[in-house]
A and B are shown apart, each in its own frame.
Chain A
Amino acid sequence: MLIIFAATQNKENRSRLEALYEEHASRMYKVAYRILNDEHLAQDAVQEAFINISNNLEKIIGTDCNKIKALFVIIVRNVSIDIYRLRRKQYSVSIEEIEEDLPESGPSVEEILMNNETFTRVAEKIKELHPSYADILSLKFFYHYEDEEISRILNITPENIRTRLHRARKSLIKLLSQEQEATNHE
């Protein structure tokens, strides 16, 4: 009886995973291709992304359609960036290089936030933020995944996740503070 129940439940899961694949695979392939510019690498990226997704299926099932779409894009994008970096290591601008000029200190939170146009600025600046940083901020603050969950989804170490999150925050603050300083000077 246990076997039948587990098989039934798993059949449901398999249908869902297959359904997710059929719905999102093409879009993921498109995103991966735009980064990698290679059919086979893009297919590898999609495959790896789906492996990551299948390992975290319980967390993903039940989320609404648009949220899943954005999540899958985030996952395949980060996988593609990792593949790209591995293959073009000496030429890529790695995330570690990006945050060289991130100052530790900056404008205070009050200076950033005590402005009616803050939300508009945030919406604009997030577009300028490096996609990897923006993605990880989304996984943490929009999808509300824990660091370990993000680590499994993106297949990188939890320490790496914490480092990226720290840098992502700093990077966004920097972008916002640059805007704020420019406003203040005016």
Chain B
Amino acid sequence: MRRNPLPALILAVAGLCILLPVALLGLWSAAGRWPWPELWPENFSTRGLAELLAPYNRTGALLLSSVGLSLLAAALATLVGAMTARALAFHQFPGKGLVRFGAILPILVPGTVLAMGLHTVFLRLGLADTLSGVVLVHVISALPYTVSILTDVTQARGRGLEEQAAVLGASPTRAFLHGALPSLIPGLLSAGSMAFAISYSQYFTTLLLGGGQVRTLSLVMVPYIQSGDRTLASCYALLFVGSALAVFAVLEGLIHLWTGGRKWN
């Protein structure tokens, strides 16, 4: 029997589209000069690596605080997103359309405008230049994604299992925890990953609302991308992509452990 070659081909093309740029980043991170039309860099330098490892850059601490900040923002955005999604999916209330629209507003308004408006508000609230302010603005930026992902998921799962559990005498909490939650986990995980990615890549909002007092990997990386320093930009980009992937892998692993390896979707 001949197998259909199309899926394999699509997979190969998609894989190449992802892996080739990452491989190029790897090469650039160690390349000195790589003029056109050479196929291989003319020389290599350890400048990028030396910069990453230089003690005054405190790269380790930077990485930990960035990941911690984004995990916190992602958890909050997922929690708020899940609750909003439940309200939108299962309840009728006045102004529902407005809530749905309001939830996606942060991505409709240009990022710089949003950041400058929030800056003024946060200044009055005393949240500017604080960690809580940065977490909050990251949550706001991630909410459009978590709300829309989780609204779809919640609607698709319905509340059948929860109602079944209630019929059998479970309390609402128990019915939610054991009836609805397990089936929502894949959705929560993808919403959480999305929120993490959004938060991890926030530049301007972190810059303006953190006032430079909250350091993240993006804040250090973006100026090198802007300045066109391809070696340093590639080094930081690799660290950025690698650390985000590592976080996703750990999250997946934790969920896997928690569900005892059972297939939950």
Co-assembled chains A and B = no
Please list the residues of chain B having a beta carbon within 8 angstroms of any beta carbon in chain A: none
Please list the residues of chain A having a beta carbon within 8 angstroms of any beta carbon in chain B: none
